[in-house]
Structure 1
Amino acid sequence: MTIRITHNDPQKLAHIAWCALVALGIARKDKKVPKKNRVAANKFIGKWAGRAALDGRFGPQYRDELSIWESNGVKNAMISNVEASLEEVLDKYAGKVAHAKKFPASYKRRIHNAGCALRTLNWTVKIGLLRDWENEGAYSPDCDHTAFIMKEHMDEFDNIGRLANPISLMVISNDVQKLVDAFYDAGILLFQRSTNKHNGKCQYVFEIHPDNNGKGLTNMAPTEAKS
């Protein structure tokens, strides 16, 4: 499985793309980069991105994107169109920002919205699953396309549905991508804690953190999962 990192701050990535495009515009105005010269624009943006990454201008979490822009601009200057790519990034992530403004403040409501979306895709989503305390607290959901949050984790929400501490989301599915996308579209970034396989079914433990902030975790949820 390939795990691809997703940032929980699309506005900043859009801002970085905007900065690169503004720098290119200024360079063209100062005649340092010829107008309508794609290769020259590629090289300028590539060198700009390389310097930004080296200086840590936008923080370490964006070095991957900056390195890609640098490679495409410098090494692949003859075949790439970095300016068009950044315009697409700006447009795409600006749209994500507009979408994010509509998210409810209540994480409980966001989880409910994600669950509703998943149920239309034939998932079983259980929020507040009770343990079998007569059987040493065991629980045994084993159906494919199942996601659940244990009852005791529901105490981590305050009276308006916000999270006080991280909670766990347990998942059984061989197609986890649909779940990750549904939660992301509902305004929740999942953080992958562990994986397992039992009876041919993939099992995951994801964590949901206050403010989508999974500091200290090295594995973020896959936005593109490939077996």
Structure 2
Amino acid sequence: MDNRNLNVSHLAWCGLVALQNARDDGQVNSPAQENLFLVRWLALAEKQRRFNRELAEDIRWLLRTGRNKGVHADLPGKLHYLWRAGSGSLKEQNDLFRLQHALQAVKLAGWVYRVLSVSEWSGRNRVRLNPSVSGMYINKVALDNGFDETGTQRSPLPVRITGNLAGLDDLLEQSGWRREPASGDDPQLHYLLAS
């Protein structure tokens, strides 16, 4: 574990503790109040420079997300995710958690990421993918059925991928996943497998 992970984990832990204290004191009673509390807490942390300089961009990103998306930003969920990802070895987490980590990294790298319904995945309403846009498109039914209750992968996860496969492979490998091309006539179809 490197210092960056420890710092991100510490930031997330502090935010979660502050939020829980606010709940216990009766200051926060709804998701909207949670978002407002965390936006104010992050803004104050940024203003007072409470955390290491290398976390400034993370704090700005959380602030921007909380302000722009409001309650839909799910700041408590993001902080919990950052805390879990940074507080232990990622490879020790279950398959589903590591996949979520990989997909978050894909989004942060500027890739398009979508979960496609049955009609968007195949048939006449199938989504047409632009090969010049880096994107990862996951079959919703396979995602829903691909993991057991402990988050362990049960079956290969079909995805359609466009863009730089080498860059994607690096992101997947960091999270303990790998990509295998599917045999057949669809060059965009691949399978994701937990390593």
TM-score normalised by L of structure 2: 0.45
TM-score normalised by L of structure 1: 0.40
Structure with the larger RCO, 1 or 2 (CA within 8 Å, 6+ apart):
1
Query: Which one has a larger percent helix, Structure 1 or Structure 2?
Result: 2
